[in-house]
Structure 1
Amino acid sequence: MTDPQNWAAPGANQPGAPYPPQGTPPPGAPQNPGYQNPGYQQPGSPYPGGQYPGAQYPGAQYPGAPGGPGTPPGPGAVAPKPGVIPLRPLGVGEILDGAIAYIRANPVATLGLAAIVVTITQLVEVPLGIFALGQLAGLTAAPGDPADPTAIAGVLVGSVAGSAVGALVSFVAITVLSGMLIAVLSQAVLGHKMSIGAAWAAVRSRIPGLVGLTLLIALLLVLVAGVGVVPLVVLAVMQANAAVVVLVGVLFVLLSWAVALFLGVSWALAAPAYVLEGVGVTAAMRRSFQLVRKQWWRVFGISLLGGIIAVIIGAILSLPFSFAADPMSDPIAGVSIVGLLITSVGTIVATTVTAPFSAGITGLLYFDQRIRREGLDIELARTAQQG
């Protein structure tokens, strides 16, 4: 496992790529293991003078700060903005705007990359769907004949297997896509562009662990959410009073879902931490927990808002394709092959836009939390100035 205090962003050999670890003093500063970088605080901060508590080191640079070297910006100062976000704690609107700005600044490495990855997944899922339609058409070819239970079971097994394969391919593809998009975002924050090839090279060695991390979190959340059903099943087997079964069942289900939601938000920044900090899977989960702690409601609210916006955008983009595919649906077999192809195109169009936006929200939440808790804005500003 890699020490989370010693890490660099993907593409660290590129100008301005590395992001200093928590607790790293400026060059030439006296060593202090407990050092926390000073960070800019918006007006209304509980810290006087817009300054985080912590040691000040002579010679610390903050580009554009009033008062010369070593003076962090006070209230009203304009934070530097070398890339898609100002280097200070971000507001909700700035996170949403930054998620769009990095797409506009890097259309090929965001929209183009997403289109390639989603198209590949559809090239796997569509043939599986066509095969399932063919199997179903074979069952309904002679409506007057009695249904063959063996044939029906075979179709069901084939359909479930095909759906499982398609879901697995989509899961891996979207996970890899998100990791590459976070790498692109990490450079866009500094005002640098990143090609698709550079993004792939930056995260290639991290892909197996990233897939494992995402899968582990998903399985844990499903397990926690499912625990609430256990008392319900136990009481039903014991033939307990129906009112007791319902009351206890609802109580435990809601409690388990609440715990799963809490853990899901607490681990929401694990993927950016894993990609950018070079830590292990469990260390990334602990790192996310640390960053989200005391800011859970903020991370939850912004993530929820970003998710709602992504769903709305996706629905708007895919709606015309759904309307076009609907007249081609078979009343018995469901959607036709042509309709399936049209729906697939709509999925590609919608996901091409929403996947980079969602990854941008998550990545900017990660940077925002590091700026708020660790004063990363100071180091980012210095790195951008040197690059």
Structure 2
Amino acid sequence: MNDSPGWATPGSSPSDGEGSHGTQPPAPAARPSGDGPKWSAEQPPPGQWSSPTAGQTPPSAPGQPPAGPQQGWGSYGGQQAGYGGYPAPPGGPGAGYRGAAVKPGVIPLRPLGLGEILDGAVATMRKHWRSVLPITLAVAVVVQLASVLMQKFAFGDVVLDQSDTASLDDQINALGATASMTLAEMFIQLVGTLVATAMLTMIFSRAVLGQASTIGGAWRESRSQLPRLFALTLLLGVGTALLIGVLLLPAILAGSVGLGVLGGFAAFGLVLWLWIKFSLASPALMLEKATLPKAFSRSWKLVKGSWWRIFGITFLTNLITGFVAGIIVLPLTFLGATLFGGGIDGLAEGTGSASWGLLILTGIGGIIGLTITMPMQSGVTVLLYVDQRIRREALDLELARAAGIENYGTGATAPPTGG
């Protein structure tokens, strides 16, 4: 088993004061005593995370004896967590050491910039399309097929009569039927998306090391965590609904529109903040084989101090994928409405929304859009998780060892570049 994310699992993180579950390399020959320097709140920018050359003596931390040229790994848990066996220099891991970062896979092993994260996601989709494309295509076909059949045979039979003569029972029954079918459609989409996310997480974690993945291998590595991933997603959804309900309840009880607007803004801000704080829980759950509480805790710690950066990258990714999906789905929807749905008026009035031609063209657009955007979103989330662990926990040491890079941190020699 490879000792890297997605296989033997990193297990507990350095920030939690526990060692990795995988096989550990030999400890350095000597370690200075004391608690050692703490991580800095300011992390080094991309392009400045590299190892000292062989034989070089790095600067010692304040209050610590000089460190000699050692090899191996620094220990975890904040006790002399270092880089290539050296104590962490002042300013955070990797600060003060300059040089070229190695790149065994789709990203260099150092803190990443926005462009490198997006490029890594696209590079994985391009280089490993034989594994990525069938997964996302199969999920997109199932999701869109369910949506088309629901709209044709279920929603088409439900009529919401808004006239004054309509009875209250008829309206309630129609609304209940619509809500039930909508929930069923959302459940199918949720299950498909979770399966794709779980398998794509494993593919992207291997792509970081330059290793190829198979569909069967990704399924075997991810299936044991699928129930927990489903529970995690369900908890996030239920928690969001409860939080919104609690903040809007005073306005509903008081019948105040102004209080409702205030509660809505408060709910939006709090939900957004918590959503970003827990945005890395999914890759932590899958790659560390963590429990639900551990996954939430890991995400909270990794996002701490980087909320705005992760929010910006996540927002930009959703903006890009939304735009890409829009330019694919909207033209096919308008074409279907023009040819089969009575034009724009028929689409607006809903008279042509159940025609086979419109539904099929819209479904084809949805399949293409999901096939492209789903791996992009999953890839950015996984690479954000890897980036944060490199910045905070020197995960590049473990990744370099798993990628077969010799003497990483002391003038490393990279293996042939993979993809």
The structure-2 alpha-carbon separation of the partners of 1:129 and 1:246, relative to structure 1 and needing over 3 Å to count, comes to closer
Task: State which of 188, 191, 197 in structure 2 corresponds to 1:178.
Answer: 197
**Partner residue, 2:244:** 225
Task: State which of 60, 71, 74 in structure 1 corresponds to 2:72.
Answer: 60
Q: Which has the higher helix share?
A: 1
1:29 aligns with 2:10: no
1:33 Cα offset (Å): 12
The structure-2 alpha-carbon separation of the partners of 1:316 and 1:354, relative to structure 1 and needing over 3 Å to count, comes to same
1:270 aligns with 2:266: no
- Equivalent position SS for 2:232: helix
**Partner residue, 1:368:** 387
TM-score, normalised relative to structure 1: 0.81
Instruction: Look up the equivalent residue of 2:117 and give its one-letter code.
Output: I
Which stretches in structure 2 are left out of the alignment for 5+ residues? 53-57, 75-83, 87-93, 406-414
Aligned equivalents of 2:39 and 2:270: distance in 1? 34
**Partner residue, 2:411:** none
**Partner residue, 1:162:** 181
1:122 Cα offset (Å): 2.3
The structure-2 alpha-carbon separation of the partners of 1:135 and 1:149, relative to structure 1 and needing over 3 Å to count, comes to farther
1:116 aligns with 2:147: no
Deviations 1:256-298 (A, max 9, x none): 2211111100000000000000111121011100100111111
**Partner residue, 1:192:** 211
Instruction: Look up the equivalent residue of 1:60 and give its one-letter code.
Output: G
Instruction: Look up the equivalent residue of 1:309 and give its one-letter code.
Output: I
1:333 aligns with 2:347: no
1:10 aligns with 2:9: no
Query: Is the CA contact (8 Å cut-off) linking 2:46 and 2:110 kept in structure 1?
Result: no
Deviations 1:36-79 (A, max 9, x none): 99999447979xx99997997931379xxxxxx75769555110
Deviations 1:218-275 (A, max 9, x none): 2112221232211211222xxxxxxxx3443333322222111111000000000000
Deviations 1:284-340 (A, max 9, x none): 011100100111111111111111111011111222311221122253533112211
The structure-2 alpha-carbon separation of the partners of 1:73 and 1:126, relative to structure 1 and needing over 3 Å to count, comes to same
**Partner residue, 2:119:** 97
- Equivalent position SS for 1:385: coil
Alignment of 1:248-287 (within 5 A): 248-287=259-298
Instruction: Look up the equivalent residue of 1:205 and give its one-letter code.
Output: S
Instruction: Look up the equivalent residue of 1:109 and give its one-letter code.
Output: S
Aligned equivalents of 1:109 and 1:79: distance in 2? 27
Query: Is the CA contact (8 Å cut-off) linking 1:176 and 1:210 kept in structure 2?
Result: no
**Partner residue, 1:66:** none
Aligned equivalents of 1:61 and 1:258: distance in 2? 41
Aligned equivalents of 1:51 and 1:281: distance in 2? 40
Aligned equivalents of 1:59 and 1:315: distance in 2? 52
- Equivalent position SS for 1:59: coil
Instruction: Look up the equivalent residue of 1:176 and give its one-letter code.
Output: V
The structure-2 alpha-carbon separation of the partners of 1:229 and 1:93, relative to structure 1 and needing over 3 Å to count, comes to same
1:162 Cα offset (Å): 1.9
1:188 Cα offset (Å): 0.2
Query: Is the CA contact (8 Å cut-off) linking 2:195 and 2:226 kept in structure 1?
Result: yes
Identify the structure with bigger relative contact order (alpha carbons < 8 Å, sequence gap 6+). Answer: 1
The structure-2 alpha-carbon separation of the partners of 1:38 and 1:150, relative to structure 1 and needing over 3 Å to count, comes to closer
Aligned equivalents of 1:38 and 1:107: distance in 2? 38
**Partner residue, 1:384:** 403
**Partner residue, 1:301:** 312
Query: Is the CA contact (8 Å cut-off) linking 1:228 and 1:254 kept in structure 2?
Result: no
1:185 Cα offset (Å): 0.3
Identity of aligned residues (%): 34
Aligned equivalents of 1:52 and 1:302: distance in 2? 35
Query: Is the CA contact (8 Å cut-off) linking 1:41 and 1:52 kept in structure 2?
Result: no
The structure-2 alpha-carbon separation of the partners of 1:152 and 1:229, relative to structure 1 and needing over 3 Å to count, comes to closer
TM-score, normalised relative to structure 2: 0.75
The structure-2 alpha-carbon separation of the partners of 1:224 and 1:8, relative to structure 1 and needing over 3 Å to count, comes to farther
1:160 Cα offset (Å): 2.7
Query: Is the CA contact (8 Å cut-off) linking 1:38 and 1:375 kept in structure 2?
Result: no
1:179 Cα offset (Å): 1.3
Query: Is the CA contact (8 Å cut-off) linking 2:4 and 2:398 kept in structure 1?
Result: no
Aligned equivalents of 1:256 and 1:51: distance in 2? 48
Q: How many residues align?
A: 357
Query: Is the CA contact (8 Å cut-off) linking 2:199 and 2:222 kept in structure 1?
Result: yes
Query: Is the CA contact (8 Å cut-off) linking 1:41 and 1:89 kept in structure 2?
Result: yes
**Partner residue, 2:150:** 128
Task: State which of 296, 317, 321 in structure 1 corresponds to 2:328.
Answer: 317
**Partner residue, 1:85:** 107
**Partner residue, 2:78:** none
Aligned equivalents of 1:296 and 1:52: distance in 2? 31
**Partner residue, 2:365:** 346
1:130 Cα offset (Å): 1.2
